[in-house]
Amino acid sequence: MKKFFKKTIWITLICFYFFQIEIVRAIVPYYYFPTIKNIQKQSLYIGKNAYQLLLFGQFGDSLNLAKLAVKINAKDEKLWLILAEAQIANKQYKKALNSLNKAEQINSNVSEIYFAKSNVYLKISQQTKAKSALEKGIKIEPNNHKAIFQLGNILLMEKNYLGAITLFDKSIKIKPDFWQAINNQGLAYFERNNVNLSVKLFQDAISIEENAEPLLGLASCKNIHDTKLAIQLAKKALAKDPNYVNYNYRKEQLWGEKLQASTEILLQNEQLKEDVKLAKSKINESS
């Protein structure tokens, strides 16, 4: 009986203990406190989703997610970079520069920060700052052929044709099939009155990628001595991309004054009248 009594008391105490715990849990709810590692992981997941939305053209949603990611974790330069890209897509250039400055403060050894800054500066027509940012990025990543190409483009805008050609050549040595750099060498040499070399470069670019730009560039070169071939090339170029019928569009692609003048003469040819008309109508339809 005594043993039974002791056992009964013991069981009662155990039951009381667990009952008390359940009462306490009912009064004070259980909270999960995430670790810093988990918070960082979640912020990166949100940042990746923001970047995916950016790629799909959902700029507003991307911006909102990128802002959230940075609020959760403001100490990761990658998240500030994603936010800056979303801000650029939404044409918030001043805010984008602020975000990139934040990223630089966290880690100044990330080339993408300076390349993104250069992109923003070009959009707001600050070429000197764009050039400086590119140069900083290239010091960190000296074999980035796209960044070297972009620096060459800035020199092309400044009409520093020899400097641009040198940089395009450097870019091509890193990536031999980089037809855009080969094409832009053709643009630069035409402004230096070296039409024969421009012809070769446009042909080289076309052999890699039969793009409208080198096709029309080659057509403008050939129009000097071979109008029939020039017309064939121009027809093909305008069919591929009607935007090249537009003077301002070609200017945006960094075509110099001499090549522009030659192209305008070519496009006034009677045999291209219908092609020019059709190209302009396509542009109007898409705008």
Q: What is the CATH number of the domain that holds 271?
A: 1.25.40.10
In terms of Cα–Cα distance, which of 127, 177, 176, 123 is closest to 152? 127
Calpha distance 161→184 (Å, rounded) = 10
* pLDDT score of 69: 93
* pLDDT score of 284: 87
**pLDDT mean by block of 10 residues, the chain; 287 residues:** 42 40 46 64 87 93 94 94 97 98 97 97 96 98 98 97 98 98 98 98 98 98 95 98 98 98 98 97 85
Total domains in the chain come to 1
* pLDDT score of 42: 85
Q: Quick check: is 47 in a domain?
A: no
Q: Domain range spanning residue 251?
A: 177-287
Q: Quick check: is 185 in a domain?
A: yes
Q: Quick check: is 9 in a domain?
A: no
* pLDDT score of 64: 94
Calpha distance 222→166 (Å, rounded) = 25
C-alpha distances out from residue 133 to 124, 181, 220, 252, Å = 14, 20, 35, 21
* Predicted TM-score (pTM) above 0.85: no
Q: Under 8 Å CB-to-CB from 207, ≥6 apart: which residues?
A: none
Q: Quick check: is 195 in a domain?
A: yes
Handedness of CA 63, 67, 73, 79 (dihedral sign): positive
Q: Quick check: is 76 in a domain?
A: no
Q: Quick check: is 231 in a domain?
A: yes
* pLDDT score of 240: 98
Q: Quick check: is 196 in a domain?
A: yes
Q: Quick check: is 254 in a domain?
A: yes
